[in-house]
Structure 1
């Protein structure tokens, strides 16, 4: 009897240990890694950071825009983007208007069509600090254009995780747009425009447009079939894209898309804001509290879906030839 009990006691710990190991293994095997999703949480993270008082209005040549640049660079690095054309870092440095300026550029290399580029852009500069203001002196530029840069960062992470871009995607945060499209104009002088098949610029995407919920408008709609391709891809999504409703404002030439469009690239700007009645445009009141996070989020989703066939190399927009 004693001998029998001894054998059982030896066996029991062995069985118990193995059960614990199997249980641990099974729990590890059931761990599910969720894919990246475009949602209001990631939108708030980027938007609240870029439009914070800490950025001091992101005026070129100030400590505030340097903070914004570092944030964008850190995000590009976290996401895993490469530098543009083998540069040492994400900055494209140049000197103009007596200022040391820099665009921030990250690249997601394509697969079968890696020498064809799609540019996704927005400007990260704004107006800085208003002298003599008694209470709020910072031009936070939440809608103009922290909302667009939020789109750039979110789409960079989205397409990185999607991993289906046959064409290379160049993500750019342009500087000095408010000073006359300075950053994008410089970028245009440094690239071979024939390699760029499309330009997707985002500006003022934080408010519901006059066309209603889940809609946006596109500048220069009639100048290429870029907008028609987007509309086709959005069919069935519940989201609609319309031509620019403000032709008298000549908006196609007033944002960074114009710098590449003038070189023939089908480059257009997505926007949602009803600018004819917007009270926050270029005002101290352009803060995150004036924006609709759902509008920003849904617009970024629409850009992702709408441009998908271009990113995958299935569609190529017509070039722009009429610039009058």
Structure 2
């Protein structure tokens, strides 16, 4: 997440800036008693009848760990924007897109930032056309930043800030969504999968892409961003929180489609205005449509933010696999709704 510093209880804390498919598992589209979020009406239940596949958590966690291991390897030198290491990450990401039927949105997968002066920088942008003759003209962006801060002052043994939680975890999560929708092609609206560069430099990559898409006058429905989702929250009855929670009905809809209390409110996220600290913000600014970030970094559960200790070995891959599984029906519900349900309050 884009760099911020806060004082919390007298301590300086930094807040962040084919898998196997079990086809016998059918997700219950009704909202169970006690789940926070809307109970879906019959019309919404009908929309969820297509959600009949759930990826094996065990198989998925293996795939996630493999992606995380590469993105956080010392070979990539902390994925600093403009570096050779982040170029290797971009190659890896675009190969996943290509191998999973996700097209480049532009002429190539790489969306180059012309104004970036410290090396060559680019977002990696994939595209999956919608299947509905009318809804395909509306877009949902699913995004995360894939850069990190590179080499820093660590100790004599380690100077590489590998950036596992921040934000290889969000990048890997988005790549799993790309694999899923690339395989099943059950998205009525068109999806842009955007992996942003230079988030750590001030949201530079997402600002660039938001302006570029705005100039194309695309009909953007919503932007859903994933940031620091590598470890579970502590003592919460929900798995993720949503930045700008009170600004829209996205959390309520997310829980309804997920069929559980997946997304909640984190007071610290509002207190420190995390809504403005990640790549959702430029899309909010350019399009004025619901653009928000899902995260599990709760200011108590991960002490290695922007340190050399942000390593893949600290990530909870079963948790990450569960997040992917539970988010798929949420994303399908939002992407395939017959009308634009997600709205700012």
Is 1:63–2:84 an aligned residue pair?
A: yes
**1:315 CA drift (Å):** 5.0
1:75 to 1:248, Cα distance in 2 relative to 1, 3 A: same
1:144-184 Cα shifts (integer Å, max 9, x gaps): 00000001110001112222100001001000000000000
C-alpha separation in 2, matches of 1:133 and 1:261:
40
1:304 to 1:245, Cα distance in 2 relative to 1, 3 A: farther
Is 1:220–2:244 an aligned residue pair?
A: yes
Q: Which residue of 2 aligns with 1:4?
A: none
- Whether contact under 8 Å (2:266, 2:298) holds in the other structure is no
SS in structure 2 opposite 1:57? coil
SS in structure 2 opposite 1:183? helix
C-alpha separation in 1, matches of 2:73 and 2:312:
8
Alignment coverage as a number of residue pairs = 286
Q: Which residue of 2 aligns with 1:229?
A: 253
C-alpha separation in 2, matches of 1:194 and 1:89:
18
**1:245 CA drift (Å):** 2.9
- Whether contact under 8 Å (2:55, 2:325) holds in the other structure is no
Is 1:96–2:119 an aligned residue pair?
A: no
1:245 to 1:195, Cα distance in 2 relative to 1, 3 A: same
- Whether contact under 8 Å (1:309, 1:315) holds in the other structure is no
- Whether contact under 8 Å (1:214, 1:295) holds in the other structure is no
- Whether contact under 8 Å (2:164, 2:311) holds in the other structure is yes
SS in structure 2 opposite 1:172? strand
- Whether contact under 8 Å (1:58, 1:125) holds in the other structure is yes
The RMSD of aligned alpha carbons is: 2.1
Q: What is the 5 A alignment of 1:66-215?
A: 66-84=87-105, 87-99=106-118, 100-112=120-132, 113-131=135-153, 133-192=155-214, 195-212=219-236, 215=239
**1:89 CA drift (Å):** 1.1
C-alpha separation in 1, matches of 2:21 and 2:264:
37
- Whether contact under 8 Å (1:206, 1:272) holds in the other structure is yes
Q: Which residue of 1 aligns with 2:333?
A: 309
1:294 to 1:213, Cα distance in 2 relative to 1, 3 A: farther
TM-score scaled by length of structure 2: 0.78
SS in structure 1 opposite 2:113? strand
C-alpha separation in 2, matches of 1:299 and 1:49:
20
- Whether contact under 8 Å (2:234, 2:301) holds in the other structure is no
1:109-165 Cα shifts (integer Å, max 9, x gaps): 101111110011000000001257411111000000000000111000111222210
C-alpha separation in 2, matches of 1:316 and 1:173:
24
**1:213 CA drift (Å):** 7.1
1:284 to 1:132, Cα distance in 2 relative to 1, 3 A: closer
- Whether contact under 8 Å (2:131, 2:185) holds in the other structure is no
C-alpha separation in 1, matches of 2:236 and 2:69:
25
- Whether contact under 8 Å (1:264, 1:319) holds in the other structure is no
Is 1:271–2:290 an aligned residue pair?
A: no
Point out 4+ residue stretches in structure 1 off by more than 3 angstroms: 32-36, 211-214, 317-321
**Structure 1: segments with no counterpart, 5+ residues:** 1-31
**Structure 2: segments with no counterpart, 5+ residues:** 1-19, 24-53
1:271-304 Cα shifts (integer Å, max 9, x gaps): 1122245311111100011111111111122221
**1:98 CA drift (Å):** 1.2
- Structure number with greater Rg is 1
1:225-253 Cα shifts (integer Å, max 9, x gaps): 11111011122x5x521023312111000
TM-score scaled by length of structure 1: 0.83
